[in-house]
Amino acid sequence: MNLKDLYIDFFVSKGHKQIPSSPVVPENDPSVLFNTAGMQPLIPYLTKEKHPYGTRLCDYQKCIRTNDLEEVGDKTHHTFFEMLGNWSLGDYFKEESIAWSFEFLTTILHIPVERLGVTIFAGNEDIPFDQTSFDKWRSLGISEKKIAKTVEDNFWIASDTGPCGSDTEIFYFRSEDEIPDFFDPEDERWVEIWNNVFMEFYKDKEGKITSLPKKNVDTGMGVERTTAILEGVNDNYLSSLWKDIIVLIEEISSLPYEGNEKSMRIIADHIRTAVFIAADPAGIKPSNTDQGYILRRLIRRAIRHARVLGIQIDSDWDLQIANKVIEKYKKYYNELEENRQIVFDVLQNEKIKFNKTLEKGLKEFMRVSKDGDIKGEAAFHLFDTFGFPLELTIELALELGLKVDTEGFYEKFKEHQEKSRTASSGKFKGGLAGNSEVETKYHTATHLLNAALKQVVSKDVHQKGSNITEERMRFDFSCDHKLTDIEKEKVEQLVNEWIREDLPVIRQEMEKQEAIQSGAECMFIEKYPDIVTVYKIGDVSKELCGGPHVEHTGVLGEFKITKEEASSAGVRRIKAVLK
């Protein structure tokens, strides 16, 4: 049995419900491009919402982190990875969490106790030393010398704001050397495998820390790293998760892994991630913004490294690798099988596009690099004319020991954007959204807008997507025509009327079937669990939704449509603000 199955079985046996992995592109959270941790889709439930599956949950979650994209190529970095997690939502706390982690590691994975070391929170002026965790680890047979106390590394928060708390991290001694008596977290032979966060606080934008209404546990264990450890390899790409993909790349290129590790790892990693992005229900396509830009960079960088290995770019090398990835993972993620053709098309089309200019672009790069460091203008020219993502130019330059004037690039980029008026906001934004008060208001406003459109335009209007920022809301809906001024005005009036009526927003839990029969609106029925949350606003709106929402509509202010435009065939887009 593999690690994922062992993990889920174990936590189910401890009363946890397995929840499905969320898509890699978060829904209704515009502040991050991808899910970066298992806990991310659970944020509303770690703060105030009640989870329909109960208070003990476990899962394996697809995650993508792109801040280290350029590091991929070494033994341990990946852009896509899976995170195992178990959660207590106001149920058990430190003692049970630690005891179960210990039991899983030592009795299910058979890791010898001597190979384990842990860190715990040392205490500061706000939060005391974590005596409970210390005592628990001691009682399980972890010697005092194997318990390290730190402040910085033992407080976990996803970004600047959000649910947070002290944690205890579990390390494994990954070396043939004799196991030392003393655990030093700075010693690289010790690697972190599991993080148990005791989430009892919330940090707001002003940096103020308050207690959450309930004490939660959030744990995370990386599948790639732990699998490599269990299999005794010190290069993740040699574990069973990657081995057959690497072997396939060796076959395609007729080259051995040894000596070509960097390019092979990049190809394996980037194609795997591209497969998961392209297969996601969000329908991402390569582009120059947001997730589409990451997808583009991944595919183009993989192509460049395939070229380094002398692979015939026109052949189906990329589809062969994608196919292998799909075969390996389809048991766990249905969308891979369902969207196999979409994935192939994305790879194929992007390759055709890039291939047209790649050769000429590389020549152009060689030409401009003769004069030394690459000027901003030249980098922009490579981007604009030859489709070289900036990062690709940087990587090529680095290989020659040259620098790229990125500031100059962005200046040119901005000039160009202003010219073509396609400025897209928040493109490179990272970090995690705490659902702020404003965003919560906008969220409720999308439900009202949806209901108003149905009344004014057609009962066949359905939501196709939404995106909320602190500044505005965006709402995509099915509709076969451009809204008339009268329609827009009526929609606005209706929403404002409902706001003035100060309608109560009621949250209910019910069986999915019952919710649908009662006429509740929902976007993707198959994506919801059997028990769903329904938000009802007065008698005007009823939708399946995870929240969060305001308690009554009166707090929304004044609703104003700022733009109505086409989004794609048969889909219109409204942008609106609350004032």
Positive/negative CA dihedral, 105, 44, 562, 541: positive
Strand, coil or helix: 382: helix
**DSSP H/E element including 8:** helix 3-13
Binding of ligand SER by 35 (CB under 6 A): no
Contact status, residue 474 vs residue 467, Cβ threshold 8 Å: yes
Torsion angle (degrees, nearest 10) of CA 435, 49, 121, 9 = -120
* Min CB(397)–ligand SER separation in Å: 33
Return the SS3 of 468.
Answer: strand
**Window contacting ligand SER (CB under 6 A); options: 35-43, 205-213, 266-274, 388-396:** 35-43
8 Å CB contact between 287 and 296: yes
Decide: is 162 part of the binding site for ligand SER (CB under 6 A).
no
Nearer to ligand SER, 49 or 218 (CB): 218
80-89 and 541-544: which strand pairing? unpaired
Q: How far is the CB of 393 from ligand SER (least distance, A)?
A: 32
CB–CB of 412/376 below 8 Å?
yes
What backbone torsions phi and psi does residue 548 show, to the nearest 5 degrees?
Answer: -85, 160
Single out the residue of 32, 39, 274, 277 in contact with ligand SER (rule: CB under 6 A).
39
Residue nearest to ligand SER (CB): 220
Q: Write down the least CB distance from residue 240 to ligand SER, Å.
A: 24
Pairing of strands 531-537, 505-511: antiparallel
Nearer to ligand SER, 42 or 576 (CB): 42
User: Which ranges of 286-330 does DSSP label H, i.e. alpha helix?
Assistant: 290-308, 317-329
Per DSSP, what are the bridge partners of residue 564? 574
Query: CB of residue 30 vs ligand SER: minimum separation in angstroms?
Result: 21
Q: Closer CB to ligand SER, residue 163 or residue 389?
A: 163
Token digits of residue 95: 């003692």
- Both structure tokens of 400: 């020659």
Contact 139, 177 (CB under 8 A): no
Nearer to ligand SER, 23 or 165 (CB): 165
User: Which residue number, 86 or 450, has a Cβ lying nearer to ligand SER?
Assistant: 86
Omega into 548 within 30° of 0, i.e. cis? yes
Residue spans of alpha helices (H) in 170-284? 223-230, 243-253, 261-279
Residue 566 CB, nearest approach to ligand SER (Å): 39
Which of these ranges, 17-25, 37-45, 140-148, 534-542, lies near ligand SER under the rule CB under 6 A? 37-45
Least distance (Å) between residue 85 CB and ligand SER: 5
Min CB(504)–ligand SER separation in Å: 34
- State both tokens at 540: 């005007």
For 12, the token pair is: 């189910």
Q: Which of residues 484-513 bind ligand SER (CB under 6 A)?
A: none
| Least distance CB 271 / ligand SER (angstroms) | 25
Least CB distance to ligand SER at residue 39 (A): 4
Instruction: Give dist(CA 74, CA 87) in Å, integer.
Output: 32
* Subset of 207-236 contacting ligand SER (CB under 6 A): 218-220
Nearer to ligand SER, 42 or 505 (CB): 42
Q: What is the smallest separation between the CB atom of 88 and ligand SER, expressed in angstroms?
A: 12
Of 33-41, 315-323, 332-340, 375-383, the segment contacting ligand SER by CB under 6 A is 33-41
Q: How far apart are CA 56 and CA 74, in angstroms?
A: 36
Helix, strand and coil in the chain, % to nearest 5:
45, 20, 35
Burial per residue of 341-369, b for 16 or more beta-carbon CB atoms within 10 angstroms, e otherwise: eebbebbeebbeebeeebeebbebbeebb
Stretch that binds ligand SER, among 32-40, 181-189, 478-486, 571-579 (CB under 6 A): 32-40
Report the DSSP beta bridge partners of residue 155.
166
Q: With contact defined as beta carbons under 8 Å apart, do 174 and 234 qualify? A: yes
Q: Which of 26, 38, 44, 361 binds ligand SER (CB under 6 A)?
A: 38
Which one, 21 or 463, has the nearer CB to ligand SER?
Answer: 21
Query: Rounded to whole angstroms, how far apart are CA atoms 215 and 90?
Result: 5
Q: Which is nearer to ligand SER, 85 or 361 (CB)?
A: 85
Q: Which is nearer to ligand SER, 222 or 286 (CB)?
A: 222
Rounded distance between C-alpha atoms, residue 506 and residue 538, angstroms = 8
> Which lies closer to ligand SER via its Cβ, residue 198 or residue 528?
198
Nearest approach, Cβ of residue 222 and ligand SER (Å) = 9
Which lies closer to ligand SER via its Cβ, residue 67 or residue 254? 67
Q: Report d(CA 466, CA 476) in Å as an integer.
A: 6
Which pair of structure tokens corresponds to residue 277?
């992005």
Number of residues that bind ligand SER (CB under 6 A): 10
Does 85 help bind ligand SER (rule: CB under 6 A)? yes
How far is 63 from 21, CA to CA, in rounded Å? Answer: 10
Nearer to ligand SER, 57 or 279 (CB): 57
Task: Give SS3 for 93.
Answer: coil
Q: Which stretch binds ligand SER (CB under 6 A): 36-44, 49-57, 502-510, 513-521?
A: 36-44
Instruction: Give min distance, CB of 190 to ligand SER, in A.
Output: 17
- Residue 148 or 448: which CB sits closer to ligand SER? 148
CB of 135 to ligand SER, least distance (A): 22
Around 88, how many Cα atoms within 13 Å sit in the side-chain half-sphere? Answer: 21
Among 53, 102, 156, 173, binds ligand SER (CB under 6 A): 156
Binding mask 170-209 for ligand SER (x = CB under 6 A): -------------------------x-x------------
Pick the closer one to ligand SER by CB: 39 or 277: 39
Of residues 256-285, those binding ligand SER (CB under 6 A): none
Taking a C-beta distance cutoff of 8 angstroms, is the pair 373, 405 a contact?
A: yes
Of 221 and 268, the one with the shorter C-beta distance to ligand SER is: 221
Q: Does 374 bind ligand SER (CB under 6 A)?
A: no
Tell me which DSSP letter residue 284 carries.
Answer: -
- Which residues contact ligand SER (rule: CB under 6 A)? 37-39, 85, 156, 195, 197, 218-220
